[in-house]
Amino acid sequence: MTIKKTGSAAGNSSGRGQRELRVKVKTAKGRKLSSTLWLERQLNDPYVQAAKREGYRGRAAYKILELDDKYGFLKPGARVVDLGCAPGGWCQVAVERVNALAQNPKKPVGTVLGVDLQEVEAISGAEVHQLDFLEDGADAQVKEWLGGKADVVMSDMAAAASGHKGTDHLRIIALIEAALDFAFDVLEENGTFVAKVLAGGAENEMQALLKRSFKKVANVKPPASRSDSSEKFVVATGFRGRPKPAHAAELDEE
């Protein structure tokens, strides 16, 4: 790999006229251009650089940081479930913000439970398990590990990309539905549900279900989400309880 740095860090003491150094990567023999471009983007991504500097396992940590900065759901003492937690950045943020390690002895101590299809390296302050959340009985197993109610259920689960936009959308909706059904069972009153969706947010039926179940529902693209990515996040706050089926709600109104 050949790396060039472009731009200049030189300038006057005020910083005017300075430019950040940019890493240019030449395509090595046997490596595809797409791989070279990906590597160059990673090396120049400020969130990747910040994650390395601040000890987070990936740039995705800043997505949940930015969402929590805006909506404030990771409070000290909160009980959090992170579905699709690999490589662990969201758990790291949750541990800090809910005071899971009792960093601040004057504040309530929270708990963080992470689950992922892949094996995840241990995270200080979090309980992490390897599990396919879509297999039969998986939700019951997570409930057993949780041992009670949760204040926040967050999901960064994503299906492997097929290259077909419609198929990928349906797959991620299926993951959101599974996560949401779990959330309905375990969330405390006024709890929060956060999940990754594709561009356009959750489909209409999902939006209607969320709006019946939570006081506020927002579809957000945090700054840390790359502009060329189709992902967004649904943030539903103020859990009211599992909604009645649509036909039952209609009968109540009659």
Backbone angles phi, psi at 37, to 5 degrees: -65, -40
Helix 138-146 vs helix 165-186: crossing angle, to nearest 10: 40
Structure tokens at 159: 């299906």
Q: Is the dihedral of CA 48, 117, 195, 166 positive or negative?
A: positive
Q: What is the reported pLDDT for 30?
A: 55
Q: What is the reported pLDDT for 168?
A: 73
Domains by residue range for the chain, with CATH: 2-44 (no CATH), 58-239 (3.40.50.150)
List the binding residues.
88, 90, 116, 132, 156
Give the type of residue at 66.
E
Alpha-carbon torsion, ordered 137, 139, 142, 148, to 10 deg:
-120
Q: What is the reported pLDDT for 202?
A: 57
Contact 89, 114 (CB under 8 A): no
Q: What is the reported pLDDT for 227?
A: 83
Contacting residues for 192 by C-beta, under 8 A, at least 6 apart: 71, 73, 151, 152, 153, 154, 235, 236, 237, 238, 239
pLDDT tens for the chain, residues 1 to 254 = 333 333 433 333 333 333 444 545 445 555 554 444 434 455 567 888 888 899 999 999 999 999 999 999 999 999 999 999 999 999 999 999 999 999 999 999 999 999 999 999 999 999 999 999 989 999 999 999 999 999 999 999 987 776 777 777 777 788 888 999 999 999 999 999 999 887 655 577 888 899 999 999 999 999 999 887 878 899 999 999 998 765 444 434 44
Q: What is the reported pLDDT for 238?
A: 98
- Confirm whether pTM is higher than 0.75: yes
Q: What is the reported pLDDT for 45?
A: 72
Q: How many helices (H) and strands (E) does the chain have?
A: 8, 9
Q: Given the residues 196, 216, 232, 244, select the one marked as catalytic.
A: 196
Q: What is the reported pLDDT for 22?
A: 55
DSSP state of 157: -
Q: What is the reported pLDDT for 204?
A: 78
Backbone angles phi, psi at 249, to 5 degrees: -65, -35
List the binding residues for S-adenosyl-L-methionine.
88, 90, 116, 132, 156
Catalytic annotation present for 26: no
